Structure 1
Amino acid sequence: MIDRERLALRRHVLSRHVDAGRVPGLAALVSVDGDVHVETMGVRDLDTRAPFTRDTIVRVASLTKVVIAAATMALIEDGSLRLDDPVGGLLPELAAMRVLKTPASALDETVPAEGPITVRHLLTCTWGFGVLPGPDLPVNRAATEAGIANVARPAGMDGDDWLARLAELPLMRQPGETWLYNTGYDVLGVLIARASGRALPDHLRERILDPLGMRDTGFHVPAEHLDRLATAYEPGPDGARAYERPEGRFSVPPDFPGGAGGLVSTVDDFHAFARMLMTGGAGVLSRASTELMTIDQLTPAQKEGAGLVPGMFDHTGWGFGMGVVHRRFDYPVKPGGYGWDGGLGPTWVSDPAERLIALIFHQLSFGEGRPAVNGDFLTWTYQGLT
């Protein structure tokens, strides 16, 4: 159960971050067995002082991945895809890839791929290409120059164009060898469109979003709701500073709806999605699919030398689109819990052992690490359980 008296103490802890100007505003949701508690504070724009409300829309960044994973599982359930089938039939661009001898090799120092790329490889981020520290690596420089790096997509580039440019580069690792974050989920977005015969936003809307009532989730914000989109901020020496306002790129449909981080949503919409996972699919997916998504899918060898931060896989693994806890670490999520962060602010945790879903949504980017307000939210959420 939720101890609302103790949650009042949590509100005091969170409000200190807002009052100090470290984060402009936020929405925090805690749900235990469907008993939902939501609190909001601060503003969604420091200039207009519009309040951060429960229906404020935020860029969820990497929380997009788990929604894309669910959309992929829906296609597996109807037989359009299979987990261990090669993707080359639908993505011929990736059917005969070359692989760098080492990640630091020159682009012409390659060997043939030892096997095909599968749907499972994309879901587990082990298909061979992704975020690899080292901006001076030849493959990273080439990705930036080709306009396919995470934040460097030229206007007018659609998913087919993006994939064609990506396929001209060698893989960093052999398919199935190592967890490399992010890029596989953009590839999944293209795969979903081709497997379903529909644009990715349409498939997502019909198969996942509408059945769950996620009306404010999508790849852009319609004009009539744009006033609810929070301004995006980044940490600065004197507090949060704006870098993208509502009239920016999310005000129009994107040329390439990115499966790795392109969605916007609200705290209630994402709670509906998290409830679907925790309750075994809720008619959207089968229990078998949600169980596959929420268990660690990586082998020890795939975790070796991988991770976004040192020691990441000491306490977590990776399911489909999310991290999975196998050892308690900096906050008390029990083994079997799962969730992920969105680098533009949001954090989501589901803890089946506590029957808990916890969400904090704001628009302060992570900068050099997760904002302190996110960690405080999780710590004090557990203090408020009985």
Structure 2
Amino acid sequence: MHDVMAGHVERGEVPGLVTLVSSRGEIHVDAIGRVAFDGPLMARDTIFRITSMTKPVTAAAAMILVEEGKLQLDDPVDRWLPELADRKVLRRLGAPIFDTVPAKRAITLRDLLTFRCGHGMIPVFPDRYPIQRAIAEAGFAPGPVFPSFPPDELMRRYGTLPLVFQPGERWLYNAGSEILSVLIARVAGVTFGEFLRDRIFAPLRMTDTAFFVSRDKQHRFATAYGRHHATRQLTVFDLPDQGRFSSSPVFENGAAGLVSTAEDFNAFAQMMLNGGTLGNERILSRPSVELMTKNHISADEKRESQLFLGATRGWGFGMSVFRGMNERDDAQGRFGWDGGYGTSWYSDPRSQLTGILLTQRLMDSPQPPRTITDFWNSVNQLVAN
């Protein structure tokens, strides 16, 4: 694995990376390359923008509130999110945004967790539908720059949009986790970041996981790069000391906002593998973890979003779950998710194995880059052996 992954650094595809493989108490961490092309050496405690690997953490936070009886999976969220009450739904995907029908029912917490709330990304490029233009004008266009509105303004903007599909009808990526950020904060009565810190990060000793990197830690924060569309050269996208993650954000984004390290995130992964516990700390009950890590969607419900899940993966709560179709048998049940800035995490309950890859090169498409596929090919060899 080291030789394969070091090849990506040597060819200049990424400035550096960190891999972590954990199995039954043994942890192997490999730091290769540099935190920036002209920066210091990569280290096992280098901090990365984990983007969509935030989504499973947000789902876990929601399930804490369910266990406390403050939320119910199938109750309407209108009480806490009045902006989503009395929704209108597009008559068809290509309809003008004013051509709507009433929603058949209210949006529930389960809809948000399973990404079937009616809001979300339509993976058709370039844009061809009126609703795609309306989503972009509202500030929710797909891309590497995430919404930065205060929570109430974010919900006001969602409230101006019709639902693309009826609640519970189709899987659409991303929006569910953004909306959950606001729901959790309103129900808990604290900021979303405070809730995550107190209920997940502090108990699991995830000391470097947050919504921004404080000044005293920025020397450990990797520079993010993206490929310039014209020159095809890698250029700086986000700097550690003056970028989007260098100060407290106006919106603590539960879809893509966290920074973390390999060992911090492994603590979360091990908690999930252990059925909600790590050491003496219990974050969730085993039934909650089982609910989060089983597939909840049908092939028909994800048909507009095959670009993200393909044929082999379904969706649990805030993360994908391998279903085993056209996939190696031993991958069935594996759960986790990737991040659009070049990160990946999956845990395998049957082998009790976790793999985490952290880079800071933005993905060029929803399809995983070679760094991620090579990493998982190497991990799969460990499972096979």
The change in CA–CA distance for 1:171 and 1:50 in structure 2 (over 3 A counts) is same
Match of 1:171 among 163, 168, 174: 163
Tell me how far apart the structure 2 counterparts of residues 331 and 255 of structure 1 sit (CA, whole Å).
43
Tell me how far apart the structure 2 counterparts of residues 217 and 341 of structure 1 sit (CA, whole Å).
17
Match of 1:376 among 374, 377, 380: 374
SS in 2 for 1:358: strand
Is the Cα–Cα contact under 8 Å of residues 332 and 382 in structure 1 kept in the other structure? no
Tell me how far apart the structure 2 counterparts of residues 56 and 240 of structure 1 sit (CA, whole Å).
20
Q: How big is each residue's C-alpha offset from its partner over 1:288-314, in whole Å with a ceiling of 9 and x where there is no partner? A: 1110010001134423333334xx342
SS in 2 for 1:37: strand
1:199 aligns with 2:194: no
What pairs with 1:99-110 in structure 2 (closer than 5 Å)?
99-110=89-100
Partner of 1:3: none
Using the size of structure 1 for normalisation, the TM-score is 0.92
User: What displacement does 1:133 show?
Assistant: 2.5
The change in CA–CA distance for 1:60 and 1:76 in structure 2 (over 3 A counts) is same
Partner of 1:7: none
Match of 1:97 among 60, 74, 87: 87
User: What displacement does 1:370 show?
Assistant: 1.4
Higher mean C-alpha deviation, range 329-338 or range 164-173: 329-338
Q: Which runs of 5+ in 1 are unaligned?
A: 1-9
User: What displacement does 1:334 show?
Assistant: 1.8
Partner of 1:28: 19
Tell me how far apart the structure 1 counterparts of residues 269 and 146 of structure 2 sit (CA, whole Å).
30
SS in 2 for 1:365: coil
Partner of 2:237: 243
What pairs with 1:127-206 in structure 2 (closer than 5 Å)?
127-134=117-124, 135-150=127-142, 157-206=149-198
Match of 1:342 among 339, 344, 354: 339
SS in 1 for 2:355: strand
Tell me how far apart the structure 1 counterparts of residues 142 and 78 of structure 2 sit (CA, whole Å).
23
What pairs with 1:190-339 in structure 2 (closer than 5 Å)?
190-235=182-227, 240-246=234-240, 247-282=242-277, 283-309=282-308, 312-327=309-324, 334-339=331-336
Tell me how far apart the structure 2 counterparts of residues 17 and 99 of structure 1 sit (CA, whole Å).
46
Tell me how far apart the structure 1 counterparts of residues 354 and 335 of structure 2 sit (CA, whole Å).
10
User: What displacement does 1:355 show?
Assistant: 1.1
User: Which contiguous aligned blocks of 4+ residues in structure 1 show a shift greater than 4 angstroms?
Assistant: 150-155, 236-239, 328-333
SS in 1 for 2:30: strand
Q: How big is each residue's C-alpha offset from its partner over 1:43-90, in whole Å with a ceiling of 9 and x where there is no partner? A: 11112x211111111111110000000000000000110100000011
SS in 1 for 2:225: strand
Partner of 2:7: 16
Q: How big is each residue's C-alpha offset from its partner over 1:329-383, in whole Å with a ceiling of 9 and x where there is no partner? A: 5677521111111010111111111110001111111113312111111111232
Is the Cα–Cα contact under 8 Å of residues 148 and 165 in structure 1 kept in the other structure? no
SS in 2 for 1:173: coil
Q: How big is each residue's C-alpha offset from its partner over 1:185-212, in whole Å with a ceiling of 9 and x where there is no partner? A: 1000000011101110001111111111
What pairs with 1:44-63 in structure 2 (closer than 5 Å)?
44-47=35-38, 49-63=39-53
Is the Cα–Cα contact under 8 Å of residues 123 and 305 in structure 2 kept in the other structure? no
What pairs with 1:356-375 in structure 2 (closer than 5 Å)?
356-368=353-365, 369-375=367-373
User: What displacement does 1:153 show?
Assistant: 6.3
The change in CA–CA distance for 1:177 and 1:327 in structure 2 (over 3 A counts) is same
Tell me how far apart the structure 1 counterparts of residues 219 and 9 of structure 2 sit (CA, whole Å).
21
Tell me how far apart the structure 2 counterparts of residues 373 and 330 of structure 1 sit (CA, whole Å).
20
User: What displacement does 1:234 show?
Assistant: 1.8
The letter of the residue matching 2:283 is V
1:39 aligns with 2:30: yes
SS in 2 for 1:354: coil
Is the Cα–Cα contact under 8 Å of residues 90 and 163 in structure 2 kept in the other structure? yes
Q: Which runs of 5+ in 2 are unaligned?
A: none
The letter of the residue matching 1:102 is R
The letter of the residue matching 2:237 is Y
The change in CA–CA distance for 1:54 and 1:267 in structure 2 (over 3 A counts) is same
Is the Cα–Cα contact under 8 Å of residues 227 and 234 in structure 2 kept in the other structure? yes
Tell me how far apart the structure 2 counterparts of residues 137 and 335 of structure 1 sit (CA, whole Å).
35
Using the size of structure 2 for normalisation, the TM-score is 0.93
Is the Cα–Cα contact under 8 Å of residues 30 and 37 in structure 1 kept in the other structure? yes
Tell me how far apart the structure 2 counterparts of residues 378 and 143 of structure 1 sit (CA, whole Å).
34
The letter of the residue matching 2:179 is V
SS in 2 for 1:308: helix
Is the Cα–Cα contact under 8 Å of residues 40 and 53 in structure 1 kept in the other structure? yes
The change in CA–CA distance for 1:253 and 1:332 in structure 2 (over 3 A counts) is farther
Tell me how far apart the structure 2 counterparts of residues 263 and 166 of structure 1 sit (CA, whole Å).
22
The change in CA–CA distance for 1:253 and 1:233 in structure 2 (over 3 A counts) is same
Tell me how far apart the structure 2 counterparts of residues 220 and 331 of structure 1 sit (CA, whole Å).
38
